[in-house]
């Protein structure tokens, strides 16, 4: 069975270097699969998105969110297009027990204080480009795409891993975003924040880490 290995390591360089994410218009158009492309459908039962955030006191919280749908398309050996959607209602915390505030934190994150899932029940990533990297053992492709959270879309780019066979794809990725760029802050949005919200928001670190584990089949 023929296999192609792409590396998906994903610390976002725009975050590490202080580079602001691009707007959707700057990032380019979302790629569409051609008729000839081999399309792999994401197995939502076997795929997951992990999240991690922290306070300035170094208190770390982490958990998961379910991937509700997605696909990856290949033209020959080249990643051509792809996307995945996240069900924000499925967000759970895994580091706390109910006695220690698990349900309270989950409700807090889902509420108008942060992700406002009543109004924004899904988040989405869509590929806008995939460039081959030559001579780098740590990565073979740079993936660019639009990340939409709370109806705010910014373009991001990262070195990426995908293992492709004739019948399946496995992709594992880890990256960071600055939550403020997507309006994920205490009080809902910058315009809605009170002074108290602003002060509380600054007790939370700006960066959120995501780890994506995708499995897809023809």
Fold of 4-210: Lipocalin (2.40.128)
Q: Quote the pLDDT of residue 201.
A: 59
Query: Which structure tokens are listed for 170?
Result: 């496995």
Q: Quote the pLDDT of residue 40.
A: 96
Q: Where are the domains of the chain?
A: 4-210
DSSP bridge pairs for 36: none
- Cα 84 to Cα 70: distance, rounded to the nearest angstrom: 4
Find where tokens 């700057």 sit.
26
Q: Note the pLDDT tens digit of each residue in 44-101.
A: 999 999 999 998 887 899 999 999 999 999 987 788 999 999 999 999 999 999 999 9
DSSP notation for 19-35: PPPEEHHHH-PPP---T
pTM: 0.82
Q: Note the pLDDT tens digit of each residue in 95-152.
A: 999 999 999 999 999 998 899 999 999 999 999 998 877 787 777 778 889 999 999 9
- Cα 89 to Cα 123: distance, rounded to the nearest angstrom: 10
Phi, psi (5° rounding) for residue 24? Answer: -60, -35
Q: Note the pLDDT tens digit of each residue in 160-198.
A: 788 888 999 988 888 899 999 999 987 655 555 565 555
- Give CA separation, 163 vs 59, 123, 172, in Å: 35, 24, 9
Q: Quote the pLDDT of residue 132.
A: 76
Query: Which structure tokens are listed for 27?
Result: 């990032």
């Amino acid at each position: 069975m023929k296999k192609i290995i792409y590396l998906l390591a994903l610390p976002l360089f725009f975050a590490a270097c202080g580079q602001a994410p691009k707007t959707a218009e700057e990032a380019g158009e979302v790629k569409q699969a051609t008729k000839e492309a081999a399309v792999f459908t994401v197995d939502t039962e076997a795929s997951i998105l992990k999240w991690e955030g922290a306070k300035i006191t170094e208190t770390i919280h982490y958990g998961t969110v379910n991937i509700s749908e997605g696909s990856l398309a290949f033209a020959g050996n080249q990643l051509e297009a792809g996307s995945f959607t996240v069900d924000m209602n499925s967000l759970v915390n895994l580091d706390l027990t109910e006695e220690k505030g698990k349900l309270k934190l989950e409700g807090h994150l889902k509420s108008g204080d942060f992700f406002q899932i009543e109004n924004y029940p899904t988040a989405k990533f869509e590929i806008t480009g995939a460039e081959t990297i030559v001579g780098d053992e740590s990565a073979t492709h740079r993936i660019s795409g639009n990340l939409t959270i709370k109806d705010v879309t910014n373009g991001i780019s990262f070195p990426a891993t995908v293992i492709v066979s004739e019948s399946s794809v496995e992709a594992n990725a880890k990256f960071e975003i600055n939550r403020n760029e997507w309006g994920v802050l205490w009080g809902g949005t910058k315009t809605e924040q009170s002074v108290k919200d602003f002060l509380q928001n600054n007790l939370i670190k700006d960066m959120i880490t995501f780890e994506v584990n995708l499995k897809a089949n023809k």
